[in-house]
Amino acid sequence: MTVPAAPTGRREGAGVFVTLEGGDGVGKTTQAALLEEWLTGLGRTVVRTREPGGTEVGVLVRDIVLHHRGDIAPRAEALLYAADRAHHIATVVRPALARDEVVIQDRYLDSSVAYQGEGRQLDAAEIRELSLWAAAGLLPDLTVLLDLDPRAARRRLDADDKPFDRLEAEREDFHVRVREHFLQIARDEPDRFLVLDAARPAEELAADIRARLEPLLATPRGAGSGVGTPD
Ligand code: TYD
């Protein structure tokens, strides 16, 4: 499948938008922290954020999608993630990019495509469209996919000793499908993705991320970057 370009247009500012994706327990938070440290050392202003829950409204949505006791219809779940995204992108991410900052974001639209599209067996292309509509077409400059066997990830989560949320508590076959779909998305958009084996040491992964990001920091941004203008 070739992925159609997002609505084109010009994003304000010289900011850089990096997202981290992958299953639960693959080490996204560790990599976000290492990346922030490096970028700050280079003198860049960094905004570290996440979905769901990167805004006050988002914290409320996060509580519903992760902790509601009982079922949520799959389409309602997809819309809740999209609502969180719409508000977060409009009020946090776009303004930061317009100030020429670097946004490091834990999860974005690819999580919706993998978890709601494939995991909940909704239509992946529709979920992508929904997310792009919510975000008025904003695509990351770089998406790092930390890929790990769900069984290994589960062992890391078990060691954390935190109670599982609604998604983490899903069965192993759900997480296997989510992983496969993340890899498929990355194959469809090789220019945007860096896929890394998350079983490797954290410092090595961080070095690979830095190497891939470095040229993007230097390139002046402009039209045709696959980024839409908000309506
Ligand atoms: P995350 O914040 O990574 O969880 P934690 O704080 O436990 O590390 O993500 C919360 C869960 O939400 C995760 O299981 C993936 C899921 N999710 C979706 O299903 N769809 C989405 O669009 C997003 C952003 C997350």
**For each of the chain's 231 residues, which pLDDT tens digit applies?**
554 444 333 465 689 999 999 999 999 999 999 999 999 999 999 999 999 999 999 999 999 999 999 999 999 999 999 999 999 999 999 999 999 999 999 999 999 999 999 999 999 999 999 999 999 999 999 999 999 999 999 999 999 889 999 989 899 999 999 999 999 999 999 999 999 999 999 999 999 999 999 999 976 554 444 444 444
Listed as own residue / partner, the contacts of 56-59 with beta carbons closer than 8 Å and 24 or more positions apart are 57/83, 57/84, 57/87, 58/84, 58/87, 58/88
Instruction: Find where tokens 């400059």 sit.
Output: 141
Decide: 182 in ligand 1 pocket, CB within 6 A.
Answer: no
**What's the pLDDT at 226?**
43
**What's the pLDDT at 161?**
86
11: in domain? no
6: in domain? no
**What's the pLDDT at 228?**
45
183: in domain? yes
51: in domain? yes
Residue owning the nearest CA to atom 4 of ligand 1: 24
3: in domain? no
Decide: 61 in ligand 1 pocket, CB within 6 A.
Answer: no
Residue owning the nearest CA to atom 16 of ligand 1: 167
102 close to 58: Cβ distance less than 8 angstroms = no
Query: How far, in Å, CA of 176 to CA of 160, rounded?
Result: 21
**What's the pLDDT at 79?**
98
Ligand 1 test: best mutation among 29, 61, 66, most atoms within 8 Å of CB? Answer: 66
User: By C-alpha distance, which of 228, 184, 188, 191 is closest to 6?
Assistant: 228
**What's the pLDDT at 7?**
39
Decide: 181 in ligand 1 pocket, CB within 6 A.
Answer: no
10: in domain? no
User: Residue 59 sits in which domain range?
Assistant: 16-218
Which atom of ligand 1 has the smallest separation from the CA of 25?
8
**What's the pLDDT at 145?**
98
Q: How far is the CA of 51 from the centre of ligand 1 (A)?
A: 7
Residue owning the nearest CA to atom 19 of ligand 1: 115
9: in domain? no
Residue 139 structure tokens = 């695509």
Total number of domains constituting the chain: 1
User: By C-alpha distance, which of 96, 103, 105, 98 is closest to 14?
Assistant: 98
Residue owning the nearest CA to atom 22 of ligand 1: 112
Ligand 1 test: best mutation among 115, 164, 172, most atoms within 8 Å of CB? Answer: 115
CATH (domain of 107): 3.40.50.300
97: in domain? yes
Query: How far, in Å, CA of 21 to CA of 105, rounded?
Result: 9
Which atom of ligand 1 has the smallest separation from the CA of 166?
14
